[in-house]
Amino acid sequence: MDEKSAITIGPVTAEPGQVARGYLDIGEAATGPVQIPLVIINGEHGGPTLCFTGGVHATEYASIAAVMRLTNEIHPADLHGRIIAVPVVSMHMFAARMPFVSPLDGVNLNKIAPGGDGSISSILARALFDRVIAKAQYHIDFHAGDFGEMLLAFAGYSLTGNNELDRQGEALARVFTPQVFCIAPQGTGLPPSPGFVANAAAYRGIVSILAEAGGNGTLDEADVTVHVEGARNVMRYLGMIKGEPQISGPQILATDWHNTRATRSGLLWLKVAVGDRVKAGQEVGEIWDIFGRSVEKVHAEKDGLAMLVWNHKAVNTGDPIVRCWSIAPAPPFPETDRFLAALS
Ligand SMILES: [Zn+2]
């Protein structure tokens, strides 16, 4: 446990027992400063430091709302340790309602972490790492499906080969997720992949998970709740707030993934929904050409769980229609299995 002490990031300082809000300047755009908004909640009791980042993709609204809500619901009197929260990392994406990439340089912040000396997104990523996330031992990067993406909630962690770090990362993913999680070996393409904020943080020795719920530009209470309850479970697991984590039932581990894609183009009739158990050969979509004639029935190549379904109603050759994860019952993990509702 850390000793109680003040914490300062740029112009924002919170003494033990205080909440501080402000902005960290990291550079300039033509219209003014590029800033990272910060909330620091410094608990009255000693404990670890946990960082929340929302709005790395700033049209993933459920995840942003969750960080906002958490920062207003966590009070220093109840907190063991410290929360460093960034409600929206990319303020320019947020203002422009721009999915995936920054309007300033067209770069996807979640492909270039931990940043460097490149364009403004690279500088933003580096400041986020060196000045914000690096202050924490634990980190949650909050996301959702972006515009055009509907997804099933999950949590993910990147294996680093450091056994203790990896054990804690798996524990955080398991207590966060409502059911499905992935523990990603390098090179599998399961998230968080290299370049993701959560991946780069883990490789810096920070126990960092990717948290996903919501999507397609929506802001639904149910998705916000998944994020808030997941984060609260993580805080309970770390002893930062009272109570034990609650895991509602048996968990599901992702082992692989594949996309099923259109080979023709036209109007897409989706025949699959997020959360469906898809069978190999099952029809997942039908494509009509521009004259309304059926030109393709798209069939799933393999069995899997539909984790990501694209909402586009017009497709081109090669566009993905559904991303399925190969899944298995999660192997025993005593560290968090003791919180399974069925056992308590
Ligand atoms: Zn995202």
Domain edge (last residue) among 237, 271, 303: 237
CB of 50 closer than 8 Å to CB of 81 = yes
Domain match, 232 and 278 both: no
Whether the CA torsion 148, 56, 191, 189 is positive or negative: it is positive
Q: What are phi and psi of 329, to 5 degrees?
A: -60, 140
Where in the sequence is the domain holding 324, given as residue range(s)? 255-329
Residue 123 Cα to ligand 1 midpoint, Å, equals 19
CATH of the domain at 264: 2.40.50.100
pTM over 0.85: yes
How many Å lie between the centroid of ligand 1 and the Cα of residue 332?
29
Q: Is there a single domain that holds both residue 182 and residue 156? A: yes
Pairwise CA distance, residues 324 & 225, whole Å: 24
**In this structure, is residue 269 part of a structural domain?**
yes
Q: Same domain, yes or no, for 162 and 286?
A: no
Single-letter residue type at 319: D
Distance CA 52, CA 72 (A): 13
77 and 171 co-located in one domain: yes
Instruction: Give pLDDT tens digits along the chain (344 positions).
Output: 556 899 999 999 999 999 999 999 999 999 999 999 999 999 999 999 999 999 999 999 999 999 999 999 999 999 999 999 999 999 999 999 999 999 999 999 999 999 999 999 999 999 999 999 999 999 999 999 999 999 999 999 999 999 999 999 999 999 999 999 999 888 888 999 999 999 999 999 999 999 999 999 999 999 999 999 999 999 999 999 999 999 999 999 999 999 999 999 999 999 999 999 999 999 999 999 999 999 999 999 999 999 999 999 999 999 999 999 999 999 999 999 999 986 54
Nearest to 261 by CA among 287, 233, 227, 229: 287
Same domain, 115 and 204: yes
Residue 97 sits in the same domain as residue 215? yes
Estimate to the nearest angstrom the gap between the alpha carbon of 246 and the chain centroid: 20
Distance 306 CA to ligand 1 centre (A): 18
- Cα separation, 82 vs 323, in Å, equals 37
Parallel/antiparallel/unpaired status of strands 80-86 and 45-53? parallel
Number of domains forming the structure of the chain: 2
How far, in Å, from the CA of 264 to the mean position of ligand 1?
28
- What is the CATH number for 60? 3.40.630.10
Ligand 1 centre from 65 Cα, in Å?
14
